Structure 1
């Protein structure tokens, strides 16, 4: 049986809130990217709690944090490209045939 601590419950709550905001505010690209980053932060915190509680090395969580930072930079560059080409970040204004 798993022992759930308060930080673990809080990190699950962070991931669920990020998922809820990703589903609810899906019309803007910036809101989608922010909710994905919030979910990554919750998963990073949960992974850090789990790896330190079992006594494993923390290198895997640093690798995950590096990949999350690369994902954020890629999302930001995509957002800049979309705003420069379309003028806004609404998903409804994208037309795949015009690109």
Structure 2
């Protein structure tokens, strides 16, 4: 029988791989890309918790990482709102880089 920490380790790796798969396959919309990136960061967060708790160190770095992930999510959502307001949708094919 597998130990509980090994099960958490494998589930966090599966979360990272599923997020990467979603980022690669569903790249037509900006919202899908942002959601898959957040899912990957959640998997990295679980891996970080497992590593730091196994070494019995302080959890301040995990809180700092979680703060950065939350800021990244807020920045991504603000860019999504800006793109939808200026271009009408979040399709990457609609967004023209050369347009001012």
TM-score normalised by the chain length of structure 2: 0.94
State the superposition RMSD in angstroms: 1.2
TM-score normalised by the chain length of structure 1: 0.95
Partner-residue secondary structure (3-state), 2:93: helix
1:97 Cα deviation (Å)?
1.2
Unaligned stretches of 5+ in structure 1? none
* Matched residue, 1:33: 34
Unaligned stretches of 5+ in structure 2? none
Deviations 1:66-86 (A, max 9, x none): 000000000000000000000
1:13 Cα deviation (Å)?
0.5
Moved over 3 A (4+): none
* Matched residue, 1:18: 19
* Matched residue, 1:74: 75
